[in-house]
Amino acid sequence: MTEKLSEDIIKMVERYNRPPNKLRSLQEINARYNLSLETYKKLCFSSGDVRDQKIATHAEIKILGWVLGKPDKDVIKDITDHSNRPIYPGQFLK
């Protein structure tokens, strides 16, 4: 039992010293944000059933915008600018 516990502790320390995912720079996150917006635009103008892909891409854009520190209003405006939905006068005045 103690042998298993010591192996687990060693593995945990190794994972702590070498994390599996590296942190991304703001430039990488911003590039991914813009790429996701372009992907969303392509999905909006494509034919077929792409609803699940649109939802996943929309969620990714929202999360990346949150990581970049953008206000929710600006993220929604960016998404709307890259979609085929009409923009009504006064829609973003709030």
Contact at 8 Å (CB) between 92 and 79? no
Q: Which of 72, 35, 73 is nearest to 57 (CA)?
A: 35
pLDDT(44) > 70 = yes
Instruction: Please state, for a pLDDT cut of 70, what percent of the chain lies above it.
Output: 74
Q: What is the pLDDT of residue 51?
A: 86
Region for residue 22 given its phi and psi (left: phi exceeds 0; alpha: psi -120 to 50; beta: otherwise) = beta
pLDDT of residue 25: 86
pLDDT at 9 over 60: yes
Distance of alpha carbon 70 from alpha carbon 66, whole angstroms? 6
Percent of the chain with pLDDT over 90: 37
Quote the tokens at residue 86.
Answer: 């009409």
Q: DSSP per residue over 57-91, as a string?
A: HHHHHHHHHHHHT--HHHHHHHHHHTSSSPPPTTT
Q: pLDDT tens-digit profile of 60-71?
A: 999 999 999 999
pLDDT at 37: 94
Q: Taking all residues of the chain, what is their mean pLDDT, rounded to a whole number?
A: 81
Predicted local distance difference test score (pLDDT) of residue 22 = 67
